């Protein structure tokens, strides 16, 4: 199309893409162009601003490598990752809410017996006991469900970020008993900042945002015939609950930490829905 | 904000960014988040599609280096670059339309006398004479205006892409005479494909789009007290005029090529508006 006015451009691009054989690619790119053009028409970037925006995208790619992913991090801190997660896993009353897998899950964490402690080699910290039941939507226990748990240490570091921790520390896979119940011992995790040494850190500083995630424990709950549940449970007395930098704190995922003579206790049940049991690709080899 | 429903997320992100001290950054990022979230809500990407989209952004950054810029190229083939250009330089009847600078402009092309030929060392091709007048909006000639011209060869290559051409071939800076008139001799340029060896090439192939730009001559026209005009003039008898892969063909920039006994002739006048005369940063050192 020969352009007569800027308003012609969106249609011109959509027409150029209309021969795309894959209907889903056609649909996604058409929507992308419409929304991208609407954004440009709203903000009307100057040439210098446009160059700066493109430069930021280049910097995200250049800063992404084997151990860092600034593109994913940018999607996280702009709420896009959580939005995709919530659209694919709508919040409901009957099934446990999901949360992002995050970059720290590892395949093949040690198998544990009920009640085992995942804070190995006397990891210092406040003792915490976690227990709960895995059920289906009808309230029936799911015997033998696997509860894969991983968390940061009391100083906010995962074992593979911290030479002071033994390998696979604060990770374990528990098997629910005949009544769907599981129990484990650990130490309270601390919240921690997302990486701030790349372009996303520059953006957060320019926006006067703190980089912290509130303290949480990751869970992946699987059982044959049930959709894999990937979630995080947050401590109700932690900092940054209202201002999680990745916008992951859903009300129903805030767990109540009760303190007692033997430390803290967290009781949290998981409700799975029927579906495909699928193990994600681990972000860490 | 603790999220109760996916519809809360956009507001949550906007609130997190509201302390941004730079009002323009706040405005741009707020709009970006609203449009990005609207895109996600419209297409509802699966987890796999979301990973593929993020992977495409990473690939654009990784493929961008000193001599290639896939991020800019992606903006070009999705019509975003031309949209920014047209918003900043609205098409009107009285001022010559602008077009993208493109990646091939070089600073310090040779100064030429009126009528000089920029096809050096007998570059083979069909002879073309270009002439015109530089005027202001009131129709007054702008004496001494500089007309910087650059173009691809008859096989579609700029001199710095082609070892067979002498350095600075098909480039020159002409000075308008006392009546604002300029004239130059050259050979007809050919259209050419944008780079297709990176992720943008993959996208174009998946969309069954050709990668060609129609044949054109680049001009940058400058004079003290006038806004620098960066534009491209297209041959009215060339291929791909209706389907320029970068959507740069504006009706008023299509020039009529008349053929005669001594070759082709193109008459094209430039009308500048008052403003700042500013030389862009050259993409090629």
**Structural domain for B51, as ranges:** 6-65
Q: Round the CA-based radius of gyration of chain A to a whole number and report it.
A: 22
The verdict on B81 and B14 lying in the same domain is no
Q: Is the pLDDT reported for residue A285 higher than 70? A: no
The verdict on A112 and A227 lying in the same domain is yes
Cβ separation B87–A40 shorter than 8 A: yes
User: Whole-prediction pTM value?
Assistant: 0.92
What CA–CA distance (Å, rounded) separates A213 from A189? 11
Q: What is the pLDDT of residue A155?
A: 94
Cβ separation A87–B6 shorter than 8 A: yes
The verdict on A53 and A142 lying in the same domain is no
The verdict on A113 and A85 lying in the same domain is yes
Residue of A nearest to B211 (CA): A16
Disruptive mutation site among A51, A79, A198, A253 for chain B (greatest number of B CBs within 10 Å): A79
Cβ separation A49–B40 shorter than 8 A: no
pLDDT digits (tens, 9 = 90+) for A169-215: 999 999 999 999 999 999 999 999 999 999 999 999 999 999 999 99
- Output the DSSP codes for A10-32: HHHHHHHTTT-SSHHHHHHHHHH
- Using an 8 Å CB-CB cutoff, list chain B residues near A29: 203, 207
Cβ separation A35–B32 shorter than 8 A: no
Report, as an integer, the average pLDDT of A24-52: 97
In a domain, B240, yes or no: yes
Residues of chain B with pLDDT under 50: none
The verdict on A43 and A88 lying in the same domain is no
Q: What's the 3-state SS for B153-206? A: CCCCCCHHHCCCCCCCCCEEEEECCCCCEEEEEEECCCCEECCCCCHHHHHHHH
What CA–CA distance (Å, rounded) separates A246 from B146? 52
The verdict on A187 and A122 lying in the same domain is yes
In a domain, B278, yes or no: no
Task: Tell the residue number behind the tokens 């707020």, with chain if given.
Answer: B30
- Using an 8 Å CB-CB cutoff, list chain B residues near A4: 91, 250-251
In a domain, B194, yes or no: yes
In a domain, B170, yes or no: yes
In a domain, B285, yes or no: no
Tokens for A49, please give them: 């601003």
The verdict on A139 and A264 lying in the same domain is yes
The number of domains in chain B is 2
DSSP 8-class letter at B126: -
In a domain, A281, yes or no: no
In a domain, A84, yes or no: yes
Enumerate residues 83 to 112 of chain B having a beta carbon within 8 A of any beta carbon in chain A: 83-84, 86-88, 90-91
The verdict on A125 and A93 lying in the same domain is yes
Q: What is the pLDDT of residue B280?
A: 85
CATH code of B163's domain: 2.60.130.10
What CA–CA distance (Å, rounded) separates B111 from B174? 6
Enumerate residues 121 to 140 of chain B having a beta carbon within 8 A of any beta carbon in chain A: none
Enumerate residues 194 to 213 of chain A having a beta carbon within 8 A of any beta carbon in chain B: 206-209
Q: What is the pLDDT of residue A67?
A: 80
CA angle A68, A71, A74 (to 5 degrees): 105
Percent of chain A with pLDDT over 90: 89
What CA–CA distance (Å, rounded) separates A132 from A126? 20
The verdict on B221 and B242 lying in the same domain is yes
Q: What is the pLDDT of residue A92?
A: 82
The verdict on B156 and B25 lying in the same domain is no
The verdict on B115 and B50 lying in the same domain is no
> What does chain A come to in residues?
285
Q: Is the pLDDT reported for residue A252 higher than 70? A: yes
The verdict on A236 and A188 lying in the same domain is yes
B23, B46, B65 - which closes a domain: B65
In a domain, B197, yes or no: yes
When the pLDDT of each residue in chain A is averaged and rounded to a whole number, the result is 95
Report, as an integer, the average pLDDT of A111-131: 96
Taking the CA of residue B114 and the nearest CA in chain A, the distance in Å comes to 32
Sign of the Cα torsion A248, A249, A253, A256 reads: positive
- Using an 8 Å CB-CB cutoff, list chain B residues near A65: none
Q: What is the pLDDT of residue B103?
A: 87
């Amino acid at each position: 199309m020969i352009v007569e006015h800027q308003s012609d451009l969106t249609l011109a691009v959509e027409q150029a893409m209309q021969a795309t054989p894959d209907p889903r690619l056609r649909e996604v790119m058409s929507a992308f162009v419409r929304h991208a053009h609407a954004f440009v028409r709203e903000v009307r970037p100057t040439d210098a601003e446009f160059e700066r925006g493109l430069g930021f995208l280049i910097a995200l790619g250049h800063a992404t490598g084997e151990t860092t992913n600034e593109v994913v991090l940018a999607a996280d801190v702009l709420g896009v990752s959580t939005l995709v997660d919530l659209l694919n896993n709508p919040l409901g009353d009957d099934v446990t809410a999901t949360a992002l897998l995050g970059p720290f899950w590892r395949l093949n964490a040690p198998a544990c017996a009920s009640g085992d402690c995942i804070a190995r080699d006397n990891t210092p910290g406040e003792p915490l006991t976690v227990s709960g039941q895995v059920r289906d939507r009808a309230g029936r226990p799911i015997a033998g469900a696997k509860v894969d748990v991983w968390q940061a240490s009391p100083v906010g570091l995962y074992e593979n970020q911290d030479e002071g921790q033994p390998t696979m520390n604060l990770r374990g896979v528990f098997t629910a008993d005949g009544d769907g119940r599981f129990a484990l011992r650990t130490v309270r995790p601390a919240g921690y900042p997302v990486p701030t040494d790349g372009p996303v850190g520059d953006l957060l500083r320019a926006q006067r945002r703190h980089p912290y995630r509130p303290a949480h424990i990751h869970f992946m709950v699987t059982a044959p015939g049930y959709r894999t549940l990937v979630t995080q449970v947050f401590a109700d007395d932690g900092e940054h609950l209202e201002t999680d930098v990745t916008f992951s704190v859903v009300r129903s995922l805030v767990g109540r930490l009760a303190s007692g003579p033997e430390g803290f206790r967290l009781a949290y049940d998981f409700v799975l829905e029927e579906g495909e049991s699928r193990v994600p690709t681990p972000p860490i080899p």
